[in-house]
Amino acid sequence: MKSIIGALAAAALTIGYGVAISPSALLGGLPIIAALFLGVFLIQWLGFAVAWLLRTERYYDLTGSLTYITVVGLAWFMAGDPAPGAELLFIAVSFWAVRLGSFLFLRVIEVGEDQRFRHIKVSAPRFFMAWTLQGVWVSFTVSAVLVALLPGNAASDFLPAGLSRAVFVAGCSLAMAGLIIEVIADHQKTRFRKNLDNKGRFIQTGLWSRCRHPNYFGEIVFWFGLALAASPAMSGAQHLAWLSPLFVHLLLTRLSGIPTLVKRGQQLWGDDPEYQAYLARTPRLVPRLIGAGQGSAL
């Protein structure tokens, strides 16, 4: 019961955040971003119902990715004639969601079980919480892009010239760099795992020789870049949309991302001197730009 109450409270707080950053337009009588966030949670809860009946987590990440595409697609449709350059934000989020969602879905198909859900999917309240938290994740991360896309925003014409354009270009460039880093890191790890000679070993080549979590670094840079690109559209309370990249950073570095992998790494290789040496010489998140890395970059 506590999990259900906590999940509903998290959803309510997220929708309240949507009210705070919404432009003046309404959807179904609600501030438009709050209404979109409500739709995000309804999609997750429908996904939970199906997943619980089938007792599977297989479609969890795929549902999250489709939700990203749906929400930015609706925002794009409702914008009608969005601000110049805003279409790049829509394309960036859609491409990121398709790429990551398909990557994670195919990985689950190959492995057969997502270890994150081994002890969660046996409890309906905890499983419901997991799906609700995905709604929180989608809502917060996409919030800055929604501010830039949606109609009724007093600052919607955010690329006239000068500083606004320079900020937008800088943000898009950062987002592209982050996406490239994330794609390369995932590709390297996939190739490493498929090599039977690497069974039971940890990756320390390519980007993984520069930092221990290059995929998460790329993810954080991607969303920070999008928030920067969207920032000229923000006015007043909409600057709270900067919580988007901050939320991604907090989740990946303090809550579910890196801490989970660190614990698993210690369980698997904690007594391995080579692993301890890797931890000692390799930055946790921000890649080392100088010094010799190991292995190919691709």
Q: Write out the two tokens for 223.
A: 């969303």
How many CB atoms are located within 10 Å of the residue 284 CB?
A: 13
21 lies in a domain?
yes
93 lies in a domain?
yes
22 lies in a domain?
yes
pLDDT value at residue 82: 61
How many CB atoms are located within 10 Å of the residue 226 CB?
A: 28
Q: Write out the two tokens for 219.
A: 């993810």
297 lies in a domain?
no
- Whether the Cβ atoms of residue 145 and residue 93 lie closer than 8 Å to each other: yes
Burial of 274 (0-12, 13-18, 19+ CB in 10 A): exposed
296 lies in a domain?
no
Helix (H, G, I), strand (E, B) or coil at 287: coil
287 lies in a domain?
no
Helix (H, G, I), strand (E, B) or coil at 26: strand
Q: Write out the two tokens for 10.
A: 């998290």
Which residue, 179, 293, 285, is CA-closest to 229?
Answer: 179
- Whether the Cβ atoms of residue 148 and residue 233 lie closer than 8 Å to each other: yes
Question: What is the residue-level pLDDT of the chain in tens, covering all 298 positions?
Answer: 788 899 999 999 999 999 999 987 778 889 999 999 999 999 999 999 999 998 888 888 899 999 999 999 998 888 776 666 778 898 999 999 999 888 888 877 777 666 667 677 778 888 899 999 999 999 999 999 999 888 655 444 555 556 678 899 999 999 999 999 999 999 999 999 889 999 989 999 999 999 999 999 999 999 999 999 999 888 899 999 999 999 999 999 998 889 989 999 999 998 999 999 999 999 999 998 876 555 433 3
- Looking at the structure of the chain, the number of domains it has is 1
Given the structure tokens 């830039």, which residue do they identify?
A: 148
Length of the chain: 298
User: For residues 230 and 224, what is the distance between their CA atoms, to the nearest angstrom?
Assistant: 10
Those residues with Cβ within 8 angstroms of residue 26's Cβ, 6 or more apart along the chain or in another chain: 32, 35
How many CB atoms are located within 10 Å of the residue 238 CB?
A: 24
Position 268: which residue type? L
Tell me the angle at which helices 86-111 and 214-230 cross, rounded to the nearest 10 degrees: 160
| CA angle (50 as vertex; 47, 53 as ends), nearest 5 | 145
pLDDT value at residue 1: 75
User: For residues 112 and 68, what is the distance between their CA atoms, to the nearest angstrom?
Assistant: 25
Q: Write out the two tokens for 104.
A: 């994670």
298 lies in a domain?
no
286 lies in a domain?
no
How many CB atoms are located within 10 Å of the residue 138 CB?
A: 25
Range of the domain at 11: 2-281
